[in-house]
Amino acid sequence: MKSLTHLDENGRPRMVNVSDKAVTRRTATAEGRLLCSEQTLALVRQGRTPKGAVIHTAELAGIVAAKRTHELIPLCHSLALSGVSVTIELRDELPGFLVQSEVRSTGQTGVEMEALTAVSIACLTLFDMLKAIDRAMVIDQVAVVSKTGGASGAWAGTAHD
């Protein structure tokens, strides 16, 4: 069994030492969904929600969250991110929103946690801004869908579509 990297030899938590790892270009993409009623989706599409521009606000919240991931998750490295994007699409077939993030960095550790945090906070922001009109919303299927860089190389999973 592989040793647990976030625990020292005495079982105490520690931040992983990445100083000997190679500096590489790293990317991670993640996505998730916020499921809602058809009526909620229609109000967003029409721009008639009580709290205004919910899509742009949630996209911005996701970007800010990616930059602050190390403040939210213990033992997560503080990273110099070179790019973060968050996009939210209205999806009638869900009904709801598809939230996607892409995070880029050049460094010694991956950016999967930053991509997941961006999607999660964007979903939570949508929920917060829409809860007055739809309390039955569900955040669903938040996952890393691809990554590049580092010793483990590139990986791509299956998108939710």
Q: Where are the beta strands (DSSP E) in 57-95?
A: 81-91
> One digit per residue, pLDDT tens: the chain, 161 residues?
466 677 888 888 888 888 888 899 999 999 999 999 999 999 999 999 999 999 999 999 999 999 999 999 998 999 999 999 999 999 999 999 999 999 999 999 999 999 999 999 999 999 999 999 999 999 999 999 999 998 888 889 865 55
Which run of H or of E encompasses 107? strand 96-107
* 156 occurs within a structural domain: no
* 11 occurs within a structural domain: no
Ligand-binding site membership of 15 (annotated): no
3-state secondary structure of 116: helix
Ligand-binding site membership of 77 (annotated): yes
Q: In Å, how far are 30, 62, 64, 78, 79 from 68, measured between CA atoms?
A: 16, 10, 6, 8, 9
How far is residue 92's CA from residue 116's CA, in Å, rounded to a whole number? 24
pTM of the model: 0.91
Domain residues for the domain of 136 are 24-147
Residue 105 · residue 26 · CB < 8 Å: yes
* 2 occurs within a structural domain: no
pLDDT of residue 9: 84
Ligand-binding site membership of 114 (annotated): yes
* 140 occurs within a structural domain: yes
Residues annotated catalytic, as ranges: 128
* 128 occurs within a structural domain: yes
- The crossing angle, in degrees rounded to 10, of helices 112-130 and 54-67 is 150
Which run of H or of E encompasses 141? strand 138-148
Which run of H or of E encompasses 72? helix 69-72
* 30 occurs within a structural domain: yes
* 8 occurs within a structural domain: no
pLDDT of residue 17: 83
Q: What is the CATH number of the domain that holds 125?
A: 3.30.70.640
* 5 occurs within a structural domain: no
Number of domains in the chain: 1
How far is residue 76's CA from residue 74's CA, in Å, rounded to a whole number? 6
